Amino acid sequence: MGSPARTQTRSERAVLQVVTGLLETEGYEAVRIRDVAARAHVSTRTIYESFGNRDEMIVTALQQWMQENVKDPVNAIEPVPGEPIDDGLMRLFRQIFEPWERHPRLLMAVDIARRGPGGERLVTFGRHAFQPAIHKVLKDTDPEYARDVSEILYHVVVGLLGQFRDRDLPITSLLPVIERAVRRLTESRAARPAGSSGGHG
């Protein structure tokens, strides 16, 4: 049951693979049902029966890519005993953003799609990929603090994605800004782990 919804048919898998490839190489506007059908060697009818419309097809492709390249690897991260929480959070964010830095057009597509029809699925999926992992890093802090940090960092990331989409920030600038936010949010607690002699690394 780990994958989105039900088991996909061979045709659906072919369609989603083509959609992901187009998003990465030619961008969001290049994804057209007729072109996808031709490249995936399926009929347009098959696409409509499987996905309903273009937006749903794109959202499904992006969610599947995120599941395999972001959510599954992030879920596999385990806290390191004695690791300061700022270091733990940055280890998590590097895992999240490493695939995006290699595939910036897919990140652009996610930010476009989340604002369109069906995009709330990507928003919900992103939260479910993001916030439990942060709570895992912050599990030894009080729940209210963990909730606040998780919420603030989520909104920082969403704001940065908007700037990236508007081409105000390059993909490589996102992680340094997130790191500054993480260090500021955790500086009063970063030296808390047992055995720490205080001070910053």
> Domain for residue 35, yes or no?
no
30-58 residues labelled b (16+ CB within 10 A) or e (exposed): ebebeebbeebebeeebbeebbeebebbb
Q: Determine how many CB atoms are found less than 10 A away from the CB of residue 123.
A: 14
Q: Looking at residues 37-60, what average pLDDT do you find?
A: 96
CB 36 within 8 A of CB 57: yes
Instruction: Please state the domain count of the chain.
Output: 1
pLDDT band at 38 (very low <50, low <70, confident <90, very high): very high
The closest alpha carbon to 74, from 160, 157, 10, belongs to 157
Instruction: Specify if 21 maps to a domain.
Output: no
Q: Is 29 contained in some domain?
A: no
The answer, yes or no, to whether residue 17 has pLDDT greater than 70, is yes
Question: Per the domain annotation, does 199 fall within a domain?
Answer: no
Q: In the predicted model, what is the mean pLDDT of residues 68-85?
A: 87
Rounded mean pLDDT, 131-142? 87
Residue 15 included in any domain:
no
Q: Distance between CA 103 and CA 82 in Å, rounded?
A: 33
Residue 53 lies in a domain: no
**Coil, strand or helix at 19:** helix
For all residues of the chain together, what is the average pLDDT?
A: 88
* CA gap 57, 11 in Å, rounded: 13
Long-range contacts made by residues 107-112, C-beta under 8 angstroms, separation at least 24?
107/161, 107/164, 107/171, 108/27, 108/28, 108/164, 108/165, 109/23, 109/27, 109/28, 109/58, 109/62, 110/62, 110/66, 110/161, 111/161, 111/162, 111/164, 111/165, 112/28, 112/165
CA 59/CA 123 separation, integer angstroms: 11
In-domain check, residue 49: no
Please report whether residue 182 resides in a domain. yes
Q: Which tens digit of pLDDT belongs to each residue from 143-200? A: 999 999 999 998 999 899 889 988 999 999 999 999 999 999 998 875 544 444 444 4
- CA dihedral 19→77→75→164, nearest 10 degrees, is -40
Range of the domain at 163: 59-186
